[in-house]
C-alpha cells in the first residue's frame, strides 16, 4: 500500500510539472507583440531600450536613421507610432529592425514611411516576417518632381508572402533577400517602379514566383556604381517553381547584368526568364529540374554564358529562345536523357537554338523508373543495424537535451536561428547603396555596420523639368 501511495504521489508530481510547463508554453504564446516606438510615451524623455532614432540636418531638410534591436525577445509590430515621419521635413528615412522573434510590417507604418521621398527598410534576423503591401501614397503630386527611391532588405527571415504591390510608386527601387525562406513571391510585387537598381536573391529558398514580379509585366534595370549590387542576381538559392514571365528584363541606358549561378531551380515555365537589350547574361553551375518550352527567351547585345549546368528534364524546344552570337559561351552542360539517342540523327538531340550550332554537351542516360536494390547479405544487414543503433542514440540524446532545457523550441526561436548559412557581415548591409544617390561626399554617409538610405539631393528636384 505504501508503495502504491508513493507511486501515486510521484505521478501527481509529474502531472503537475507537465501542466505547469504547458501553462508556461501557452503563456508565451499569448504574449502580446510590442509596438515599436522611438519613445515610450510623449511625456517621457528617455528613448526605448530597443530603438535608437537619430535625426540629422541635410542641405534643405532632415534625414532620420532608426535602428531597433530587440535582443531576440520580442514580437514586434511596425505601425505609424514608430516615428512621426509626416511631421518632419524629411528628405531621407532609414529604418532597421534586427533580432526580433517576429516582425509585422503594417500598411499604416509604410504609409508613414512613404512621407519621405527616399526611404529604405531593413529587417534582419526576424524569425518570421509578415509583410503588408504598400498603400497608395497620398503625396504623389508633392513628390512628382523628385527622383524618389525605395529599398528593402531582408536577411535570415521566414517570409510567408511577399505581397502584390509590396514596392510601389517610386522612380527607383531595390530589393535584396538573403539567407531567407519565402513561401510565396506574388505576381506584381513591384508596381510602378520606373527603374530597379537591383533584384537580389542570395542563399535563400523560394517556393514559387507566381508570375511576373512587376505588375507592368517587365522590369527596367538601371544600375549605379555606388551600389554593392546591380541588376538581377540569383545565387546559391533554391526555387521550386518559376512561373511564366517571372523575370522579363530590359535595360535603361547602360549595360546591365543578369546572373543565375550556383542555384537549384525545380520547374521553369515558358518564358520564365526573358531578357532583351544591353544585358550581360550569366547562367552557370545550376541544376534545373525541368525546363519547359522556351523557358529562356534571351536576345541581348551583351555576352551570354550558359555553362556547367545540369538539366534533368526538358521539352524539345526548351532553349530555343536563347539566341547565340559571337559573345556566347555554352560549355560543359549536362542533359539527362530517359533513353539513349543517336547523335547522328538529322534531328538535334539538344534543345538549343540553331544559332548555337554545336555547344559542348554531355548526355547522361537516366532511366525513368528508379532501380531498387535489395539487401541480401548478412554484412549489409549488420551494417544497417549498427546505423540504426547510432540513429537511436542520437535521437535519445536529443530527447534528453529537450527534457533538460525548458521550452527549448522557444529558446531557439527567440534567438532567430538562421534558415541558411550567413557568411559575412557585409552581406547584411541590405540593398542600400554605399553612398548617397546621387553621390554625397559627406563622411556621415558611411555607416560601418550597414548602409544608410540614399540621401536625396536638392539638385535632382528640377533636373527633369
Per residue, the 3-state secondary structure of the chain, as one string, reads: CHHHHHHHHHHHHHHHHHHHHHHHHHHHHCCCCEECCCECCCCCCCECCCEEEEEEECCCCEEEEEEEECCCCCEEEECCCCCCHHHCCEEEEEEEEEEEEEEEECHHHHHHHCCCCEEEEEEEEEEEEEECCCCCCCCCCCCCCCCCEEEEEEECCEECCECCCCEEEEEEEEEEEECCEECCECCCCEEEEEEEEEEEEECCEEEEECCCCECCCCEEECCCCCCCCCEEEEECCEEEEECCCCEEEEECCCCEEEEEECCEEEEECCCCEEEEECEEEEEECCEEEEECCCCEEEEECCCEEEECCEECCECCCCECCECCCCCEECCCEEEEECCCCCCCCCCCCCCECHHHCCCCEEEEECCCCCCCCCCCCHHHHHHHHHHHHHHHHHHHHHHHHHHHCCCHHHHHHHCCCCCCCCCCCHHHCCCCCCCCCCCCCCHHHCCCCCCCCCCCCHHHCCCCC
Q: Do 455 and 308 share a structural domain? A: no
Q: Is residue 93 located within the same domain as residue 209?
A: no
Alpha helices in 122-170 (DSSP H): none
Say whether 408 sits in a helix, a strand or coil.
helix
44 and 107 both lie in a single domain: yes
Question: Is the same domain home to 129 and 213?
Answer: no
458 in the same domain as 348:
no
Alpha-carbon span 230 to 195, nearest angstrom: 12
pLDDT at residue 430, rounded to an integer: 39
Does 293 lie in the same domain as 211?
A: yes
Residue 311 sits in the same domain as residue 199 = yes
CB atoms within 10 A of CB 436: 22
Write out the three cell numbers for 8: 501515486
**Is residue 461 domain-resident?**
yes
Residue that terminates a domain, selected from 321, 356, 383: 383
Note whether 140 and 197 are same-domain residues: no
- CA-to-CA distance for 19 and 166, rounded, in angstroms? 43
Same domain? 122 vs 215:
no
Mean pLDDT by 10 residues, the chain (465 residues): 55 53 49 81 57 84 92 95 89 95 97 94 96 93 88 96 97 95 98 95 97 96 75 97 96 89 97 94 97 93 94 88 88 81 53 76 62 47 65 63 42 39 35 35 32 38 34
77, part of any domain: yes
Omega before 204 within 30 of 0, i.e. cis: no
Domain count, the chain: 2
46-52 long-range contacts, CB within 8 A, separation 24+: 50/74, 51/82
> Is position 182 within any domain?
no
Q: Identify whether 11 is part of a domain.
A: no
Which domain-ending residue is among 355, 383, 411?
383
Instruction: Based on the fold, state whether residues 219 and 339 are members of the same structural domain.
Output: yes
Q: Is residue 19 part of a domain?
A: no
Look at residue 396 and tell me if it is in a domain: no
How far apart CA 435 and CA 457 sit, in angstroms, is 12
Q: Which domain holds residue 111?
A: 31-146+434-465
Q: How far is it, in rounded angstroms, from Cα 5 to Cα 327?
A: 86
Is residue 258 a part of any domain in this protein?
A: yes
Q: Kindly state whether residues 464 and 372 are assigned to the same domain.
A: no
Residues 123 and 254 in one domain: no
**Residue 397's pLDDT is what?**
62
Domain boundary among 321, 349, 383: 383
Cα–Cα distance for residue pair 286/283, rounded to 1 Å: 7
Grid cell of 265 as nine digits: 531551380
Amino acid at each position: 500500500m505504501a508503495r502504491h501511495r508513493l507511486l501515486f504521489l510521484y505521478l501527481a508530481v509529474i502531472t503537475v510539472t507537465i501542466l505547469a510547463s504547458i501553462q508556461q508554453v501557452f503563456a508565451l504564446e499569448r504574449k502580446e507583440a510590442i509596438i515599436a516606438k522611438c519613445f515610450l510615451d510623449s511625456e517621457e524623455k528617455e528613448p526605448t531600450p530597443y530603438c535608437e532614432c537619430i535625426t540629422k540636418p541635410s542641405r534643405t531638410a532632415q534625414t532620420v536613421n532608426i535602428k531597433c534591436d530587440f535582443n531576440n525577445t520580442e514580437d514586434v509590430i511596425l505601425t505609424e507610432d514608430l516615428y512621426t515621419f509626416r511631421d518632419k521635413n524629411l528628405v531621407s528615412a532609414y529604418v532597421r529592425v534586427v533580432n526580433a522573434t517576429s516582425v509585422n510590417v503594417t500598411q499604416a507604418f509604410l504609409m508613414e514611411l512613404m512621407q519621405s521621398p527616399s526611404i529604405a527598410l531593413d529587417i534582419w534576423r526576424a524569425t518570421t516576417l509578415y509583410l503588408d503591401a504598400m498603400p497608395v501614397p497620398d503625396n504623389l503630386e508633392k513628390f512628382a518632381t523628385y527622383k524618389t527611391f525605395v529599398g528593402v532588405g531582408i536577411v535570415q527571415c521566414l517570409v510567408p508572402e511577399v505581397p502584390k504591390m509590396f514596392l510601389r510608386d517610386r522612380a527607383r527601387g531595390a530589393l535584396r533577400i538573403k539567407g531567407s525562406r519565402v513561401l510565396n513571391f506574388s505576381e506584381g510585387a513591384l508596381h510602378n517602379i520606373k527603374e530597379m537598381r537591383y533584384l537580389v536573391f542570395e542563399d535563400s529558398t523560394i517556393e514559387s514566383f507566381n508570375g511576373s514580379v512587376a505588375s507592368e509585366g517587365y522590369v527596367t534595370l538601371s544600375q549605379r556604381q555606388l551600389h554593392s549590387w546591380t541588376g538581377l542576381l540569383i545565387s546559391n538559392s533554391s526555387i521550386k517553381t518559376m512561373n511564366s514571365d517571372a523575370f522579363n528584363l530590359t535595360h535603361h541606358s547602360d549595360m546591365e547584368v543578369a546572373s543565375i549561378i550556383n542555384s537549384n531551380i525545380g520547374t521553369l515555365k515558358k518564358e520564365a526568364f526573358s531578357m532583351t537589350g544591353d544585358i550581360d547574361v550569366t547562367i552557370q553551375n545550376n541544376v534545373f529540374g525541368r525546363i519547359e518550352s522556351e523557358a529562356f527567351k534571351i536576345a541581348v547585345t551583351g555576352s551570354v554564358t550558359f555553362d556547367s549546368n545540369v538539366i534533368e528534364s526538358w521539352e524539345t524546344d526548351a532553349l530555343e529562345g536563347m539566341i547565340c552570337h559571337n559573345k556566347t559561351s555554352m560549355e560543359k552542360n549536362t542533359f539527362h536523357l530517359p533513353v539513349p539517342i543517336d547523335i547522328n540523327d538529322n534531328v538535334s538531340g539538344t534543345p538549343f537554338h540553331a544559332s548555337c550550332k554545336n555547344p559542348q554537351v554531355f548526355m547522361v542516360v537516366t532511366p525513368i523508373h528508379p532501380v531498387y536494390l535489395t539487401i541480401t547479405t548478412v554484412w549489409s544487414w549488420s551494417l544497417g543495424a549498427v546505423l540504426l543503433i547510432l540513429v537511436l542514440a542520437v535521437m535519445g540524446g536529443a530527447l534528453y537535451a529537450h527534457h533538460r532545457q525548458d521550452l527549448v523550441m522557444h529558446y531557439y526561436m527567440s534567438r532567430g536561428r538562421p534558415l541558411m548559412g550567413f557568411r559575412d557581415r557585409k552581406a547584411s548591409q541590405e540593398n542600400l547603396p554605399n553612398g548617397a544617390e546621387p553621390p554625397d561626399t559627406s563622411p556621415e554617409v558611411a555607416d560601418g555596420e550597414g548602409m544608410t538610405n540614399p540621401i536625396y539631393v536638392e539638385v535632382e528636384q528640377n533636373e527633369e523639368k
